[in-house]
Amino acid sequence: KLSEEDKVRSPICCMMGHIDTGKTKLLDYITGNVQEGEAGGTTQKMGATYLSARNILEKTMELKSDTKLKVPRPLFIDTPGYEFYTNLRSRGLGLCDFAILVVDIMHGLEPQTIECLNLLRMKNTEFIIALNKVDRLYGWRICENAPILEAMKQQTKDVINEFNMRLNEIINQFKEQGLNSELYYKNKEMGETFSIVPTCAISGEGIPDLLLLLVQLTQKTMVEKLITYVDKVQQCTVLEVKVMEGYGTTIDVVLVNGELHEGGQIVVCGLQGPIVTTIRALLTPHPIKELHVNGNHVHHEVIKAAECINIIAKDLEHVIVGTALHVVGPDDDIEAIKELVMEDVNSVLSRIDKSGEGVYIQASTLGSLEALLEFLKSPAVKLPVGGIGIGPVQKKDVMKAGVMLERKKEFATILALDVEVTTEARELADEMEVKIFCSDIMYHLFDQYQAYIC
């Protein structure tokens, strides 16, 4: 029988914001992954990280000596490389209980900040604003790990003036978007007015404040919401597909609710169709403090939400990142699940040119592929797409793109967004005269293509 404590699942927090505002850096700092990076232990890093209770206690000590967690430690999801893609951000946010919206104090609100803000409001997600990079203020005196008011006391008048000027400007920018915001320690109407925490992800000023606020937010608003213990998996998303030594192709997933069992049957989404397979092993990385046992994972027979898990199973090579994983229960209709799993991909496939005439596009995830398709369809571009691929460009992709050589030679090209091209694929492309364009920016891909056909 489950204890009351066991019934509460971990809250999930999403890092959001414009590119380069410091989302990853902040996450690394608050979860203590800094040491991990230095020890070269990055292989264990997943797209999601736990914030340990010890970390919270240590880092908030100066502000409050007895920060206790009534809910399990939060699980954080970063959005690596997803900066351009609304649909992926939206999916990541779909998993989250609350978010940290990161704003660069030197830049204020940027296009993706506003887009994130709109998503957050659309989904009615609670969030805290981290006003990051305060150390960039001219003349800032570093006060490592200091609560922000302590750090402020150490600054000159000029620094404080610049800080206030930029802060007020940003509060105004938020107001223009219809959002009230205020420094968290001046915020008297939590819920109505959003809290701003000034931070530095390099030397840690304001991090204790951010952590304390996170804990308070989760405890105040979340406890009831999180006691939704279910053993059936309702939401589980593939974050990453990766090859692991000795295990072959494996997937990292975020389990939002329910339980996963070793030996359980699952259905995941592949570009060629649904993949039905059996969980051979469920792994999680070792807790941070035991990181010196590099490469070791903890095996589990059962894992309950919320957790980021590495799943070992057969036939995972073609799984598409960003899609849902479904568990087949004893009473479930597997055919119905197979259809359900393919919904996302089918909606993308339905947008390819029916004649099959068009360029071939390749991206790392379904979300980025969707974004590229949308971009190429936009009135300013209007480039037909004849085929799609996900993951590194391989020989088979070149063969498919090569079909256009006899129909419309200018379409015998691959636009590869943020993916690698294998050596064999490159050789074959040269031989067949299929042109491959690579970039991690959609606009550049199109520019290259245009320069080529003109």
Give residues in contact with Mg ion (CB under 5 A): 23-24
Helix (H) / strand (E) element for 132: namely strand 126-132
Residue (37 or 273) nearer to ligand GDP, CB: 37
113: left (phi over 0), alpha (psi -120 to 50) or beta: alpha
- List the single partner that 262 binds among ligand GDP, Mg ion, none, CB under 5 to 8 Å by kind: none
- List the single partner that 110 binds among Mg ion, ligand GDP, none, CB under 5 to 8 Å by kind: none
Calculate the alpha carbon distances from 200 to 132, 212, 352 in Å: 5, 15, 45
Residue (71 or 102) nearer to Mg ion, CB: 102
CB atoms near residue 93 (< 10 Å): 21
The structure tokens listed for 431 are 């031989």
Residue 113 contacts ligand GDP per CB under 6 A: no
Residue (135 or 182) nearer to ligand GDP, CB: 135
- List the single partner that 260 binds among Mg ion, ligand GDP, none, CB under 5 to 8 Å by kind: none
Residue 25 contacts ligand GDP per CB under 6 A: yes
Q: How far is the CB of 140 from ligand GDP (least distance, A)?
A: 9
Q: How far is the CB of 331 from Mg ion (least distance, A)?
A: 42
- List the single partner that 181 binds among ligand GDP, Mg ion, none, CB under 5 to 8 Å by kind: none
Residue 24 contacts ligand GDP per CB under 6 A: yes
Looking only at residues 177 through 206 of this chain, which bind ligand GDP when binding is defined by CB under 6 A?
A: 200-202
- CB-count exposure of residue 380 (10 Å: 0-12, 13-18, 19+): exposed
In 256-379, DSSP assigns E strands to 259-261, 265-270, 273-278, 281-285, 297-300, 302-304, 307-312, 326-327, 359-363
Residue 89 contacts ligand GDP per CB under 6 A: no
Comparing every residue's Cβ against ligand GDP, the nearest one is 22
Out of 9, 23, 73, 304, name the contact with ligand GDP by CB under 6 A: 23
234: left (phi over 0), alpha (psi -120 to 50) or beta: alpha
DSSP label of 288:
G
Residue (23 or 91) nearer to ligand GDP, CB: 23
Out of 45, 136, 300, 377, name the contact with ligand GDP by CB under 6 A: 136
The answer to whether the CB of 324 falls within 8 A of the CB of 235 is yes
Angle, CA 417 vertex, CA 411 and CA 423 arms, to 5°: 80
- CB-count exposure of residue 379 (10 Å: 0-12, 13-18, 19+): exposed
Residues within the interface to ligand GDP (CB under 6 A): 17, 19-25, 132-133, 135-136, 200-202
